[in-house]
Amino acid sequence: MSDFDAIKHPTASNSLVDVLETVLDKGVVIAGDISISLAEVELITIRIRLLVASVDKAKEIGMDWWETDPYYSSKGVELQRENNELHDKIQRLEDRLLAQEESSKK
């Protein structure tokens, strides 16, 4: 191995690390659409959006869905339970309000 090869290899490795660090620090968005048509009639469209970023960067831009998703977090399970309870409470209040409005019409 020549001295040139020894210097070249770490530089390439460092460049890859630098690129990866920049991507995770800044974030990269990849977007695309796939359309399936038959006889010029669109049957289905699939929109693909991919964000590659560090967890810290994702949180900074407001993407923290994994913290509240019941499949990924116990906190998400608790929030889902609270959401269901609030939904039930709202439904009961709407039912009571409707009943009061109907009784006042009589």
What does pTM read for this prediction?
0.41
Q: Which of the two residues, 2 and 61, has the higher pLDDT score?
A: 61
For the chain, the distance separating the N- and C-terminal CA atoms, rounded to the nearest angstrom, is 97
pLDDT tens per residue, range 41-60? 888 988 888 888 888 888 88
Q: Which amino acid is at 81?
A: R
pLDDT tens per residue, range 77-86? 788 888 899 9
Domain boundaries, the chain: 1-63, 64-106
pLDDT at 90: 96
Q: Which amino acid is at 80?
A: Q
Q: Which of the two residues, 38 and 92, has the higher pLDDT score?
A: 92
